[in-house]
């Protein structure tokens, strides 16, 4: 795996942790999760900036945001008991399919 893809995967993980902590912070009323939000997003943007040295911003952002949406929806369902109806599940699968199309078939993805 090229290093810039590792940066992107770690950026997605940091953003996912930050967003999960955002829910757990209860609108920034809990200190620990609130600090994790700031650290998670700061690290996510730093790693995404490193990725931008090798990949176009549109592709990086599509993968970063798409995977983040998919992972946060799954975490919301598993950890926070949030419900996903059939249209939501289908939409999430379409997002995942779009990421796969970019990664597998696009020459601009910087493989």
Task: Give the position of tokens 């730093």.
Answer: 46
Per the CB < 8 A criterion, the answer to whether 56 and 109 are in contact is no
The pLDDT score that the predictor gives to residue 111 is 56
Q: What is the pLDDT of residue 108?
A: 79
Rounded distance, CA 96 to CA 82, Å? Answer: 20
3-class DSSP state of 83: coil
Model confidence pLDDT, tens digit, residues 5-31: 999 999 999 999 999 999 999 999 999
- Token digits of residue 43: 């690290």
Could you state, in chain order, the average pLDDT of each consecutive group of 10 residues for the chain (111 residues)? 92 97 95 98 98 94 95 95 96 95 82 56
| Nearest in space to 72 (alpha carbons), one of 24, 104, 28, 109 | 24
**Which SS3 state, helix, strand or coil, does residue 54 take?**
coil
């Amino acid at each position: 795996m090229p290093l810039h893809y590792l940066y992107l995967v770690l950026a997605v993980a940091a953003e996912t942790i930050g967003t999960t902590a955002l829910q757990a912070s209860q609108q920034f009323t809990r200190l620990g999760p609130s600090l994790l939000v700031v650290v998670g997003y700061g690290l996510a943007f730093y790693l995404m900036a490193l990725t931008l040295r090798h990949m176009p911003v549109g592709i990086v952002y599509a993968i970063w945001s798409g995977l983040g949406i998919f992972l946060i929806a799954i975490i919301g369902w598993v950890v926070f008991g949030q419900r996903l109806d059939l249209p939501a599940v289908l939409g999430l699968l379409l997002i995942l399919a779009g990421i796969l199309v970019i990664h597998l078939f696009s020459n601009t993805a910087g493989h």
